[in-house]
Structure 1
Amino acid sequence: MKTVLAAALLASGVAVFGACAVSPARAAEEITIRTATAGELADTCAANPREPGADARLNFCRGFAQGAIDVEMHHAGEHKLFCFPRPSPTRAETMNQFVSWVRAMPDRRSMPSDEGLFKFLAERFPCK
């Protein structure tokens, strides 16, 4: 089960249909979102809200992160890689910090997306 969920989360390309914000009469257009690496995930999470497809990219970013975190926390048991404080930060805030973390060291861009996300979370929110 974990392998199936992980494979779904790590899909290298996902087609997403986003409605065009410019004209409601235009048909939805397909965009491709790639998140195989931490760099691709960070690029998706850093979408400019004013650009076409940004809503789809930002929603995918946060949904990907939430799904990956849920699977990891479910399987981690007592051996969690990271522990969120209470109250927890928002997804948007956390993923903005992830983008900065990836951009701070170029070698992080090539890490698998889930590995990079979990490494960031472990550094940012260590369990005590």
Structure 2
Amino acid sequence: MAYRQVSIAVTAFLLMAAAPVGKIAQAATAEQFQVRTTADYVAVCTTSPNDDTYQAAIAFCHGFAVGAYQYYAAVAEVSSQDRYVCLPDPPPSRVTALTEFVTWVKGNPQYMQDRPVDSIFHFLKTRYPCS
């Protein structure tokens, strides 16, 4: 994946978390900021804009996703055998992608107790597989 495509992909995934999705918005607790599970990560990323922790939660959500995706992109750039996520051009909007991720996780509750990075990539490889 070219650097520009990786940048677009990273930006798309990160920005998707900027807006909470409908009625799932809630307040993130200090414990959830440790994101030990996917359930914690989803709670942080869907913090209500009216909550005092909103700015911190969304910034944390973005940073977590940036780190995870940049690591993946670096590995995939070196070894095409490790590439399994291929986002479309243009990538999905942030609201669409977040809605899809949250919907996917709720439809696959077996991942709620997994590490969030694992769930993010289970989702991405399911939704945006390389052909």
Any stretches of 5+ residues in structure 1 without a counterpart?
A: 1-30
User: Does residue 85 of structure 1 match 2:88?
Assistant: yes
Count of aligned positions: 98
User: TM-score scaled to structure 1, two decimals?
Assistant: 0.68
SS in 2 for 1:110: coil
Measured on the aligned residues, the alpha-carbon RMSD in Å equals 1.7
User: Does residue 125 of structure 1 match 2:128?
Assistant: yes
The structure-2 alpha-carbon separation of the partners of 1:91 and 1:64, relative to structure 1 and needing over 3 Å to count, comes to: farther
The structure-2 alpha-carbon separation of the partners of 1:84 and 1:116, relative to structure 1 and needing over 3 Å to count, comes to: same
Cα pair 1:35 1:41 within 8 Å, conserved = yes
Any stretches of 5+ residues in structure 2 without a counterpart?
A: 1-28
Report the Cα distance in structure 2 between the residues aligned to 1:97 and 1:35, rounded to whole angstroms: 20
The aligned amino acid for 2:54 is: A
Structure with the higher strand share, 1 or 2: 1
Deviation at 1:92, TM superposition (A): 5.0
Task: Map 1:1-128 to 2 at 5 A.
Answer: 32=30, 33-76=33-76, 77-78=79-80, 79-128=82-131
Considering Cα pairs closer than 8 Å and 6+ residues apart, tell me whether 1 or 2 has the greater RCO: 2
> In percent, how many aligned pairs have the same letter?
29
Report the Cα distance in structure 1 between the residues aligned to 2:56 and 2:99, rounded to whole angstroms: 16
User: TM-score scaled to structure 2, two decimals?
Assistant: 0.66
Cα pair 1:38 1:113 within 8 Å, conserved = yes
SS in 1 for 2:112: helix
Report the Cα distance in structure 2 between the residues aligned to 1:45 and 1:92, rounded to whole angstroms: 12
